[in-house]
Amino acid sequence: MYTSIALNPISSLVAILAVAYLVLSYVRSVISWRTRQRGRPLPPGPAPLPIIGNLLAIPETKKWLGFQDLFSKYGNIVYLNVLGNHVVAIGDADLARELLEKRSANTCDRPSSVVIPLIGNDVSFSVMPYGQWWRDHRRAFWQVFHPGAMRSYRDTERAFAHDFLRNLLASPGNIEKHSRYMFAGTMLKILYGLDVQKEEGELINTLHETVSCTTSVMIEKHAVDVFPALRHLPAWVPGAGFQRVFAECKAAVAYAKEMPFARMKAFLSGGELGGTSSALSVLLSRIDDTVDSREHAYAEDIVKNVGLVAFEAGADTSFSISQAIFVVISLHPEVLKKAQVELDTVVGPHRLPDFEDRDALVYINAIIKEALRWHVVTPLSVPHCTLEDDVFNGYFIPAGTTVLANVWAMLHDPAVYEDPEEFRPERFIRDGVLDPTVRDPYLFAFGYGRRICPGRHFADEALYITIASVLHVFDIGPPLDEGGQPIPIKYEQTDGLIT
H or E element at residue 430: strand 429-430
Strands 402-405 and 85-90: parallel
**Residue 70 to residue 90: CA distance in whole angstroms:** 10
Question: How many residues belong to the chain?
Answer: 499
Q: Is 396 helix (H, G, I), strand (E, B) or coil?
A: strand
Cα–Cα distance, 390 to 399 (Å, whole number) = 7
Q: Between β-strands 85-90 and 77-82, what pairing exists: parallel, antiparallel or unpaired?
A: antiparallel
C-alpha atoms less than 13 angstroms from C-alpha of 144 in its C-beta half-sphere: 22
Question: Crossing angle for the helix pair 242-270 and 293-331, nearest 10 degrees?
Answer: 110
Q: Tell me whether residue 249 is annotated as binding.
A: no
Taking the C-alpha atoms of residue 462 and residue 190, their distance in angstroms, rounded to an integer, is 12
Reference 332, options 234, 198, 471; nearest CA is 471
Element housing 392 (H / E): strand 390-392
Residue pair 381/448 in contact by the 8 Å Cβ criterion: yes
Residue positions in the annotated binding site? 453
Residue positions in the annotated binding site for heme? 453
